[in-house]
């Protein structure tokens, strides 16, 4: 480590992204948070509907996307990291999440992706928040997986109610017609990125549009799977 790095790390020590405890330079989480963060075990996940196998609802609804995976479940530690990133745009939170998402994608999908793209945000939200967290995650993923970033493949064309205010069924209705997609190279394999998946309604609608525009396959990845029972 050079002198400036030593001085810098004395003033700004590396901290756990979840609890803020001082940790070694190369780590992202402290020992406690690494032990207790709830990882999303892909063997317990139904990749087709993107819910935990115990909550699988493939028999109730079919999805446009070809798969869904996530590195983390919606527990206290992972949620804190995701929301800190969503609210404060902390770069290292983004890098941490994207790194774990990249590992999950490599482990779970055997697909030659042509593009990484992301769920777009309503223009009013982009203005009030100042950034789209799914875009930032997709940009990091594109770098770490070495897959080109499909910029503005999807556009938000309707101003609907926020999804979190609605029940499971309402969410699927609410997102209908919300997105449009540009023409894609025919048969392109797309990795679609979002921050949190709850019902999958948003990803499903985006996948539908990407297919309409020529995609050959659409596989999804989010940082967090928020899998509640009763399809909420």
Give residues in contact with Zn ion (CB under 5 A).
16, 18-19, 21, 30, 33, 46, 48-49, 56, 58
The minimum distance between CB 49 and Zn ion, in angstroms, equals: 3
User: Between residues 63 and 153, which has the closer beta carbon with respect to Zn ion?
Assistant: 63
Taking the complex as a whole, the smallest distance from the CB of residue 21 to Zn ion amounts, in Å, to: 5
- Lookup: tokens for 169: 């069924």
Residue with Cβ nearer Zn ion (49 or 206): 49
58 or 87, CB closer to Zn ion?
Answer: 58
Helices 133-145/91-108 angle, 10° precision: 60
Phi and psi based region of residue 146 (left: phi greater than 0; alpha: psi -120 to 50; beta: remaining): left
Q: At closest approach, how far in Å is the CB of 164 from Zn ion?
A: 22
Task: Please say whether the beta carbons of 180 and 103 come within 8 A.
Answer: no
The residue among 49 and 141 lying less far from Zn ion, judged by its C-beta, is 49
The answer to whether 207 touches 232, Cβ cutoff 8 Å, is no
Least distance from Zn ion to the Cβ atom of residue 16, Å = 3
Which of 100/184 has CB closer to Zn ion?
100
What lies within 8 Å, CB to CB, of 117 at 6+ separation is 138, 149, 150, 151, 153, 154, 190, 191, 192, 193, 210
**CA end-to-end span of the chain, whole Å?**
49
Minimum Å distance from CB 24 to Zn ion?
12
């Amino acid at each position: 480590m050079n002198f400036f790095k030593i001085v810098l790390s004395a003033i700004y020590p590396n901290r756990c992204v979840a609890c803020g405890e001082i940790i070694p330079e190369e780590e992202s989480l402290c020992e406690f948070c690494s032990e207790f963060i709830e990882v999303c075990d892909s063997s317990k996940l139904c990749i087709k509907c993107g819910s935990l196998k115990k909550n699988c609802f493939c028999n109730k609804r079919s999805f446009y996307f070809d798969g869904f995976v996530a590195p983390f479940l919606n527990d206290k530690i992972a949620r804190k990291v995701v929301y800190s990133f969503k609210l404060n745009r902390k770069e290292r939170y983004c890098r941490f999440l994207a790194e774990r998402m990249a590992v999950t994608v490599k482990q779970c999908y055997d697909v030659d992706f042509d593009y990484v793209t992301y769920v777009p945000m309503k223009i009013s939200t982009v203005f009030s928040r100042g950034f789209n967290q799914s875009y930032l995650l997709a940009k990091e993923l594109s770098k770490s997986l070495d897959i080109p970033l499909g910029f503005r493949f999807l556009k938000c064309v309707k101003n609907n109610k926020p999804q979190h205010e609605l029940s499971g069924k309402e969410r699927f209705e609410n997102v209908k017609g919300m997105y449009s997609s540009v023409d894609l190279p025919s048969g392109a394999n797309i990795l679609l990125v979002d921050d949190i998946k709850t019902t999958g309604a948003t990803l499903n609608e985006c996948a539908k549009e990407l297919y309409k525009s020529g995609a050959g396959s659409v596989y999804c990845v989010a940082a967090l799977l928020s899998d509640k029972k009763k399809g909420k």
